[in-house]
Amino acid sequence: MPRHDNDRWDIVSSVGLTALMVAGGRAIESKRPDALIRDPFADALVSSTGGDLPVPTRLPHPGRDDDAEFEGIWSFTATHMGVRTRFFDDFFRQAWEDGVSQAVVLASGLDARAWRLDWPDGFAVYEIDQPKVLEYKEQVLAREGAHPRCAWHAVPIDLREDWPAALQQAGFDPSRPTAWLAEGLLPYLPDHAEERLFAAVHSLSAPGSRVAVEHIRSISALMDSNLERYQEITKQFGIEIDELVYDNDGRPDPDARLAELGWQAECSLGSELAERYGRPLDGALGDMPRQQRYVTARLPR
Ligand SMILES: C[S@@+](CC[C@H](N)C(=O)[O-])C[C@H]1O[C@@H](n2cnc3c(N)ncnc32)[C@H](O)[C@@H]1O
């Protein structure tokens, strides 16, 4: 079903399913001998929905072991998630080494960084996502006996609503430098919400703050180049990925938006990061790594 401004979801519907899929990629990547990340919670987070969604947590996936297309797509997805997760893990490590003491994960989904990274004492992590998505994650991790390794604050709200107010009500302190993350988020926001998001990040950022953003310049070009394969992935869940994302052609690049606001911005392509980590990204969704932009920016002190 196409998107509308008041749509909401849980972990097994609409945009929520995309959080489940990327967690599946992290689960697979975590088991590889040359894994770029280890996410010990991804399996439980994927497997606790109570349904029989075919999101794999290992390859080969039982029942699909002779399906080369399935295997190729999920193998690619796992490497892609390894590269992406590692890059943003390193972003947070660098931030805390530089003295930043709070982070905001915009659209955290099933991201388990608050539970798995070695945050320094007193570090606060705020996670914003749909109420039912955060509730699911918190319940699964509690049942697993996992505890956050930081001061974790759930901020259950839609990012098209007044999330800056909710964030501050949850204890966020705009006078302290912040590390912000928008990973796997922008394609799911309409133009006006993306514009407001960057304006809010800027207005809530003390000098010394930094931000990391995953960006695809043209969702429609990406869809055109990989459409059949995307659909192969998502039709297994009964969703059409092209109905979940917004056409973003013509939106300013995040690095341009941030530079205009006085931030010092940089960008790497997914293909470049994959090479740097020794895990070249080619195969099933071939063109995607060159369209994937990883933007980081700092607000000078
Ligand atoms: C592809 S998942 C990425 C999750 C997480 N960042 C990760 O990389 O594992 C997209 C996430 O964006 C969240 N999301 C998208 N639009 C949102 C909105 N308007 N309000 C709150 N969350 C949103 C979804 O609920 C979902 O968890």
Question: Is 235 within the bounds of a domain?
Answer: yes
Question: Is 3 within the bounds of a domain?
Answer: no
Quote the DSSP letter at residue 292.
E
In whole angstroms, how far apart are CA 265 and each of 141, 253, 296?
A: 35, 11, 6
Question: Is residue 263 within 8 Å of 201, Cβ to Cβ?
Answer: no
The pLDDT of residue 53 is above 90 = no
The count of other CB atoms within 10 Å of the CB of residue 212 is 22
The pLDDT of residue 149 is above 70 = yes
The pLDDT of residue 284 is above 70 = no
Task: Give, using CA atoms, the residue closest to atom 16 of ligand 1.
Answer: 188
- For residue 228, what pLDDT is reported? 73
- The per-residue pLDDT of the chain, averaged, comes to 93
Find the 16 Cα to ligand 1 centroid distance in Å.
7
Question: Is 165 within the bounds of a domain?
Answer: yes
Q: Which ranges of the chain would DSSP assign to H, the alpha helix?
A: 16-30, 42-47, 68-97, 113-116, 131-143, 163-169, 191-203, 219-235, 241-244, 254-260, 270-276, 288-291
- For residue 290, what pLDDT is reported? 83
Q: What is the pLDDT of residues 177-208, one digit of tens each?
A: 999 999 999 999 999 999 999 999 999 999 99
The pLDDT of residue 225 is above 80 = no
Find the 134 Cα to ligand 1 centroid distance in Å.
10
Question: Is 152 within the bounds of a domain?
Answer: yes
Question: Is 10 within the bounds of a domain?
Answer: no
Question: Is 9 within the bounds of a domain?
Answer: no
- For residue 286, what pLDDT is reported? 64
Question: Is 224 within the bounds of a domain?
Answer: yes
Is any ligand 1 atom within 6 A of the Cβ of residue 19?
Answer: yes
Q: Which atom of ligand 1 is nearest to the CA of 21?
A: 1
Q: Which of 211, 254, 239, 2 is nearest to 100 (CA)?
A: 211
Is any ligand 1 atom within 6 A of the Cβ of residue 214?
Answer: no
- For residue 29, what pLDDT is reported? 98
Question: Is 1 within the bounds of a domain?
Answer: no
CATH number at residue 254: 3.40.50.150
Share of the chain above pLDDT 90, in %: 78
Find the 186 Cα to ligand 1 centroid distance in Å.
9
The pLDDT of residue 287 is above 80 = no
Least confident of 3-7, 140-144, 265-269: 3-7
The pLDDT of residue 101 is above 70 = yes
Find the 67 Cα to ligand 1 centroid distance in Å.
29
The better pLDDT of the pair 233, 29 is held by 29
- For residue 9, what pLDDT is reported? 96
Question: How many domains does the chain divide into?
Answer: 1
Q: Structural domain of residue 68, as residue ranges?
A: 16-298
264's tokens: 């010092």
Find the 264 Cα to ligand 1 centroid distance in Å.
26
In whole angstroms, how far apart are CA 100 and each of 117, 165, 174, 298?
A: 15, 21, 12, 12
Q: Give the strands of the sheet with 292-298, arranged side by side.
A: 151-156, 124-129, 102-106, 178-182, 210-216, 292-298, 264-269
